[in-house]
Structure formats: structure tokens, C-alpha cells
Amino acid sequence: MSYKTVIALDAMGGDNAPSAIVKGAVLAAREDIKIILVGDENKLKTELSQYGMDSSRLSIHHASEVITMDDSPVAAIRSKKDSSMVVGLKLLKEKEVDAFISAGSTGALLAGGTFLVGRARGIERPALAPLIPNIKGFSLLIDCGANMDAKASYLAQFALMGSIYMESIMGIPSPKVGLINVGTENEKGNQLTKEAFSLLEKSDINFIGNIEGRDISMGVADVIVCDAFTGNIILKHTEGLALSLFNIIKEELMNDNLSKIGALLSKSAYKRVKKRFDYTEYGGAPMLGLQGLVVKAHGSSNAKAIQSAIAQAVKFKEEKIVEKIEEKINQKINQ
Amino acid sequence: MSYKTVIALDAMGGDNAPSAIVKGAVLAAREDIKIILVGDENKLKTELSQYGMDSSRLSIHHASEVITMDDSPVAAIRSKKDSSMVVGLKLLKEKEVDAFISAGSTGALLAGGTFLVGRARGIERPALAPLIPNIKGFSLLIDCGANMDAKASYLAQFALMGSIYMESIMGIPSPKVGLINVGTENEKGNQLTKEAFSLLEKSDINFIGNIEGRDISMGVADVIVCDAFTGNIILKHTEGLALSLFNIIKEELMNDNLSKIGALLSKSAYKRVKKRFDYTEYGGAPMLGLQGLVVKAHGSSNAKAIQSAIAQAVKFKEEKIVEKIEEKINQKINQ
């Protein structure tokens, strides 16, 4: 039989591989999708044996090697040809699958996504676009990928791809797109953002103009556009600062007995706060602008996060995101 | 009589001017320093009258205009020649004072500092260097100023100036200097950080290498070096994210009765958390690399913050920071 969507999983990537990846696949299994676990056949068979799942919907594609966090990303993609990541990316390139999901090395996945999977027609550079939490929900931060010295035209394409993704996958009509800058006035910024601003102004997305660092967490924009250097630092600073703040609060709450009792009573509030920052709900970071979808799942993904990433990939296929991106990008080019 | 240190204050700048500025000056007044309040003479006389302070130590220098937050920074510096900010900066340029402190428009102060006050000998660009909180204390973030498209050589000078400042003013021996980048490996980054890395590697500061976004709040470095675009976004995102997190926690604590009671009991812990993020303790952000010191105090500075900024300026003079910077920079150049 033929399936509407076929998804390959890097069963060996991430802190909890292969068990969390296999469990996530079992949780996500549906009649109309096929999931291929890429990795060590023996290990995966052992994992799978506990679930008694129909092998037609959940199959194994053997790959003998694993790219680890200690490997140099680009070198590993070139040399470890039988790694679960390279084999999975090649399945995507050859259109055997619609999407490839990995919780392994971000650097290797970016390099592999760029070198092994073809770009969508008209796309200059693919981009990695994680969702980051804000006071209202989440924003898409695009680009956090490998394009270290970006051009304004890349940023304009990122804005468009991010807008399509947030509308079609996250269900936000006419997503607000903001350009990260040092001030909100039109003429602000460095050479890159000044040029990007004038391109974005002319585009037909819902461009709300420049946004500042303090707007990121306020949820001012649904799509936050920046170069990958800036995006990488925003993303990791968000993680680091949130973690530090939680640690500082915990430390102070444990520092006197009354506060300790208070913390105990407030436990359910803290649980709700934590839930608002829970990445496992929304899958992973899509790498946009490729032929098909590559998803970077969080390194510490549990089964639920993998399940969400699979749901995200299914929707990506159903909503024909690659086709939508190509259509919009090439409309622009031909104008 | 002659004073060891003479400091001019923008008495009209900031949300709480002139009352908080005048009160801060009164609190900071000492035998050996002279403080000049720059601004509307009548208003300042009225403010001062309540304190009965000796006018030889606390004097008024009249300026009829005020640069507001709505003014275009560069245009205002050019056109409002009798504004408290322009008059104060000119006192610094003419070496009538050793330092100028303002809680007014950051943009105008950066433009005025650059155009009106001379650069220190050998310095390519002055830099704005706020202290930002981390889990252990504070780091100096340099540059958050006006140099939108930086060169690697600027970053190398920022690292040196930041290192001198943290050692001499904040009392940190051999401060750890980190370069903000997308990864810790030596070869990481964009064109700018790659070039800056190789300059910093050769310098005789305590360069600890590249640091990532998540290291910022961990207190890995005492001096965090970056271009002003990146610095501006880190600084404002830190403010925005901390505020958002506190708001989310507050919201959830008020969301059920048990948590509400818990929050009440933990009140002293929350006070201690807040204190660890209190900017009023350490003065303002120095603009380094000028002939003399310009300090950007927080826009919402209260009297205590102004008092701290004055103490910081006094130490800057006593520790001969301008001379130290010039000596080190020109050693390098002549090598």
C-alpha cells in the first residue's frame, strides 16, 4: 500500500536515543503514515520488540555508524557515509521519504541538510527556524542555521518562509513578521538590516517593521527575522538566561524557612510556568528551504517531543509547504 | 580651592529629572569632589533649596534647552546647542570636568560623546559598556554603542578597554574576556568574529576564547566582547526576557489560592532575587575610549543610581583609566 506521508527518523541521534526515538515513533504511528527508523538494526529490533508494532508502518533501515556530538560536523557528514544521519538525509534527497527528523548534532544536520538534500527551487539558503517562548506563546526565530554572513536577500526569503510556516503549520493567520534591529525606526541598524528592511517593506507579507531585543519575549512578532549569527545568540541566551533565572529563584527560595514553605505551597504555579516553556509540545526546529523537510529535534528530546516532531512533519507534507514556498519565491523572482 | 575630581551631571535627563538627579548629587557630595548640575537654573535652584548644600561643592551651570526622548539623537545634538546634554559634553571636551553623567537619550549621548568629546589617543571607536547581570554577579558587555558595522580591530580595542575597566573599577584581577560567538571552537563564527579571534589570541589580556549565548548568564566571562548590533540585542533581550519571566511567574502565582499564599510567604526570597538584578547599585554604563568619562545612567535612575554613577566617575578619575587605556593601546600600536 502507499502512504500519504513517509518519515525517516534518526533513531541514533540525541541524548535519549534510541529508546526515546523508538517510543516516539510508536506513539505517533497512524494508519496513513509510514515511519522509518534509521540506525543499528539489532538495537532497534530489540527496542521495537517490546511494542509489538506492525512492521509495515514502523520499519527499520539499517545504518551502521553514528555521528556523535564530538565529531566535527562537516567532516562527519563527509566521512561517516553509513551513519544514521547521512543515510536518513539521503532517503530524503532521493524522495524516498517526505521528512527526516533528528535529535543529533545540530551542526552536522545543518551541514548535511545543505550539502545532501537539495534546496527548494529559487531558495538561496536554507534556514533553521526554532520556536522560542514569549509571554503570549511562541515566535519563530529564523535564521539560527549555518549562514554566518547573510545577505539581505536571504533575510527576505527567511521572512517569507517563516510566514508561510507559521500560517500553515501553527495556524496563525497573516503572521506578524518583525526584523530584529537596534531600534524601531526605519533607518536604524547595520548595513544588513537596512538593506533587508527595504526589501521587506516591499514584500506582501505582514511586515511590522524593526523590532528590538526587548520585543522578543513580549511576543510582538510571530516571525522574528535575523541573520544566523544573531539568531544563534538570541536562542542560546534565551535558554541560558531562563535557566539562570530559575536557578537564582530556586536558590533564594531555599535560603530561608518561610520562603521554603511558600515554595512548597506554590508548587502548582511553578509547574504551570515550566509548562509554558516546554519545548516537547511543538516538535522541533524546521530547516526550511529544502526539498522536503528536515527537523532538528532538541538534543534531550523525550518520546513526546519526537511524537510532536512527527506530527509537525506530517502537517508539513499535508500543507504542501515546499510547494507553497517555491510558488511564492518564484512569483517574486518573476515579477 | 581645587578639587581632585569635577563631575558634570545632566540634571534634566531621565524619567525622574531633575529631582532624582539633584538628590543623587546631594547624596554623593564630598569634600574633595565638585559636582556641576547642568540645566535650567531656576528649576535646579528650587530643587537644591530643600537641601541647604554648600554651593561651592554643588553648583549650577545654566542650560536653557533639554533633549527629549522624542528628539532625533543626531539632529538634537547639532541643533540644541544650549541643551543640558550638549553643554555638559562641551564642559568635558574643554576639560572643565573629568566626567559627564546623563540619564537622558542614549542615542543622543552616544552621538554627542562621539562628535563633541575627543577620542582617547589611539582609539578607533568609543564603546558603550553596560554591566549585565549573571548568576554570579555582573559582566561588562562591550560594545552596545553606535558602531553598527564593526571591524575586528575595534573589537580588540573594546576587549582591552573592558579588561582595564573591570580590573580597575570593579576590582576583578585579570578579568576573563570572552568573544561572543556561535560556538566555542576557535574557527567558529562570521567574518568579524573569526578575525577578532585571531587578534584577541595575540593580545596580552586574559582571553578565554569564544563564548556562546548560553554562557552570558552563566557568568563565564567578566568582559563579553561583541559588535554593537549584537550587544544591543543581548542587552535589550536580557531586560525583556527577565521582565517577561517575572511577569509569567507572578501571573501563575496569582492563579490559584494555595500558590498565592505561598508567594506571600516567599516574599523575602523574591526581594533578594530582585536585588540581584538591581542596576542602581553599580552606577551606569561607561562610554569608554573618550578623553574623560561619559556615563549613561539608566533612564529610570533614582537618586541612589545617580549617587552610584558619581562614585563610579570619581573612581574612573582616581584610577586614571583614560591614561591606562592610552598607554596600553599605544604600546600595542608601537610594537
CA distance A252 to A256: 8
Residue B276 has what pLDDT? Answer: 85
Task: Please state the pTM of the whole predicted model.
Answer: 0.94
Is A264 close to B262, i.e. CB distance below 8 A?
A: yes
Question: With contacts defined as CB-CB under 8 Å, which chain A residues touch B276?
Answer: 248, 252
Q: Is residue B25 part of a domain?
A: yes
Look at chain A and report how many structural domains it folds into: 2
> Is the Cα dihedral B71, B74, B80, B82 positive or negative?
positive
Alpha-carbon radius of gyration of chain A = 21
Residue A91 has what pLDDT? Answer: 98
**Which residues of chain A from 118 to 147 reach within 8 Å of chain B, CB to CB?**
134-135
Q: Is residue B327 part of a domain?
A: no
Is B272 close to A266, i.e. CB distance below 8 A?
A: no
Look at residues B260, B284, B308 and tell me which one is the last residue of a structural domain.
Answer: B284
Residue A208 has pLDDT above 70, yes or no: yes
Residue A334 has pLDDT above 80, yes or no: no
Q: Is residue B308 part of a domain?
A: yes
My answer on whether B280 and B131 are in the same domain is yes
Average pLDDT for residues A162-180, to the nearest whole number? 97
Whether the ω angle into residue B18 lies within 30 degrees of 0, i.e. cis, is yes
Question: With contacts defined as CB-CB under 8 Å, which chain A residues touch B252?
Answer: 269-270, 272-273, 276
My answer on whether B157 and B237 are in the same domain is yes
B141 bridge partner residues:
B224
Partner residue opposite A262 with nearest CB, options B183, B230, B263: B263
Q: How far off is chain A from B322, nearest CA to CA, in Å?
A: 28
Look at residues A282, A299, A320 and tell me which one is the last residue of a structural domain.
Answer: A282
- End-to-end CA separation in angstroms for chain B: 42
Is B214 close to A191, i.e. CB distance below 8 A?
A: no
Residue B205 has what pLDDT? Answer: 96
My answer on whether A259 and A313 are in the same domain is no
Grid coordinates given for A291: 526539498
Strand A131-133 with A138-142, pairing = antiparallel
**Which residues of chain B from 80 to 99 reach within 8 Å of chain A, CB to CB?**
none
My answer on whether A27 and A92 are in the same domain is yes
Residue A278 has what pLDDT? Answer: 76
Is B252 exposed, middle or buried, given 0-12, 13-18 or 19+ CB atoms closer than 10 A? Answer: buried
Structural domain span for residue A243: 131-282
My answer on whether B280 and B303 are in the same domain is no
For B188, name the nearest residue in chain A, comparing CA atoms only. Answer: A148
Is A256 close to B265, i.e. CB distance below 8 A?
A: no
Mutation to test the B interface, candidates A125, A241, A298, most B Cβ within 10 Å: A241
Grid coordinates given for B138: 555582573
Q: Is residue B331 part of a domain?
A: no
My answer on whether B134 and B276 are in the same domain is yes
* Residue A237 in contact with partner chain B when CB distance is under 8 A: yes
Is A237 close to B252, i.e. CB distance below 8 A?
A: no
* Residue B186 in contact with partner chain A when CB distance is under 8 A: no
Mean pLDDT of chain A: 93
Per-residue HEC secondary structure of chain A comes to CCCCEEEEEECCCCCCCCHHHHHHHHHHCCCCEEEEEEECHHHHHHHHHCCCCCCCCEEEEECCECCCCCCCHHHHHHHCCCEHHHHHHHHHHCCCCCEEEECCCHHHHHHHHHHHCCECCCCCCCEECCEEECCCCEEEEECCCCCCCCCHHHHHHHHHHHHHHHHHCCCCCCCEEEEECCCCCCCCCCHHHHHHHHHHHHCCCEEEEEECHHHCCCCCCCEEECCHHHHHHHHHHHHHHHHHHHHHHHHHHCCCHHHHHHHHHCHHHHHHHHHHCCHHHCCCEEEECECCEEEECCCCCCHHHHHHHHHHHHHHHHCCHHHHHHHHHHHHHHC
Residue A54 has what pLDDT? Answer: 67
Could you give the percent of chain A with pLDDT greater than 70? Answer: 97
Q: What are phi and psi of A243, to 5 degrees?
A: -60, -45
* Residue A257 in contact with partner chain B when CB distance is under 8 A: no
Partner residue opposite B240 with nearest CB, options A193, A216, A255: A216
* CATH number, residue B53: 3.40.718.10
Mutation to test the B interface, candidates A212, A245, A300, most B Cβ within 10 Å: A245
Q: Is residue B258 part of a domain?
A: yes
Residue B334 has what pLDDT? Answer: 58
My answer on whether A249 and A326 are in the same domain is no
* Residue A278 in contact with partner chain B when CB distance is under 8 A: no
My answer on whether A62 and A3 are in the same domain is yes
Q: Is residue B75 part of a domain?
A: yes
Question: With contacts defined as CB-CB under 8 Å, which chain A residues touch B183?
Answer: 107
My answer on whether A308 and A277 are in the same domain is no
Partner residue opposite B269 with nearest CB, options A233, A235, A253: A253
For B228, name the nearest residue in chain A, comparing CA atoms only. Answer: A182
Grid coordinates given for B73: 539623537
My answer on whether B140 and B251 are in the same domain is yes
Question: With contacts defined as CB-CB under 8 Å, which chain A residues touch B215?
Answer: 240
Is B294 exposed, middle or buried, given 0-12, 13-18 or 19+ CB atoms closer than 10 A? Answer: buried
Q: What are phi and psi of A258, to 5 degrees?
A: -65, -45
Q: ipTM > 0.85?
A: yes
My answer on whether B31 and B155 are in the same domain is no
* Residue B236 in contact with partner chain A when CB distance is under 8 A: yes
Q: Is residue B197 part of a domain?
A: yes
Chain segment A63-99, per-residue pLDDT in tens: 999 999 999 999 999 999 999 999 999 999 999 999 9
* Angle, alpha carbons A322-A327-A332 (nearest 5°): 130
* Average pLDDT, 10 consecutive residues per value, chain B (335 residues): 86 96 94 94 93 80 96 94 98 97 96 94 96 93 95 98 96 97 92 97 96 96 98 96 92 96 95 83 90 94 95 94 94 64
Residue A335 has pLDDT above 60, yes or no: no
My answer on whether B245 and B301 are in the same domain is no
Mutation to test the B interface, candidates A248, A276, A300, most B Cβ within 10 Å: A248
* Residue A69 in contact with partner chain B when CB distance is under 8 A: no
Strand A285-288 with A127-128, pairing = antiparallel
Q: Is residue B164 part of a domain?
A: yes
Residue A30 has what pLDDT? Answer: 85
* Residue B266 in contact with partner chain A when CB distance is under 8 A: yes
Is B182 close to A228, i.e. CB distance below 8 A?
A: yes
Residue A245 has pLDDT above 60, yes or no: yes
